[in-house]
Amino acid sequence: MEKIFTELYKDIHSAVQTGQNPLKKFLFVTRQHVLIVFYIASQIDQKATLEDICYNVSPKIVSRSTIQNILKEGIKINFFKKEINLKDKRAKFYKITNEANKIIQDWAYKQNTIFSTVNDLIKR
């Protein structure tokens, strides 16, 4: 199990290093960033409005203003893009960009690889 935790530590630690890809760094800046990114990623077409996020992510964990700041920061570095909601032009969708989506998928595959060794250990 130590090997697995070592790999997890290395992966997360390297993601937040200053020289890393800014999109990967953005993903792991705080627990709130992770929650918002994975909430949006879990939605249909990987997009959600500010209201959707505020409703579904507990205000005890992330305040509305923090959510707004994270979304603005994500747009600034091209992690998210804003789209107009065609059904309600007042609402904007926050959508994960293709480049950010690739980073999330690569991270998920790496985690799958790391955790697949747990199954190997259990089977022994």
Q: What is the pLDDT of residues 72-82, one digit of tens each?
A: 999 999 999 99
76: tokens are 């600034």
What mean pLDDT comes out for the span 103-120?
82
27 contacts 104 by C-beta, under 8 angstroms: yes
CATH number assigned to the domain with residue range 2-123, chosen from the 4 options 3.90.920.20, 1.10.10.10, 3.10.150.10, 1.10.1740.10? 1.10.10.10
Give the tens place of pLDDT for each residue, 18-62. 567 888 889 888 999 999 999 999 999 999 999 999 999 999 999
Q: Tell me the residue type at 26.
A: F
* H or E segment to which residue 69 belongs: helix 64-76
What's the whole-model pTM score? Answer: 0.84
d(CA 45, CA 41): 8
d(CA 60, CA 64): 10
Signed CA dihedral, 103, 113, 40, 25: sign only? negative
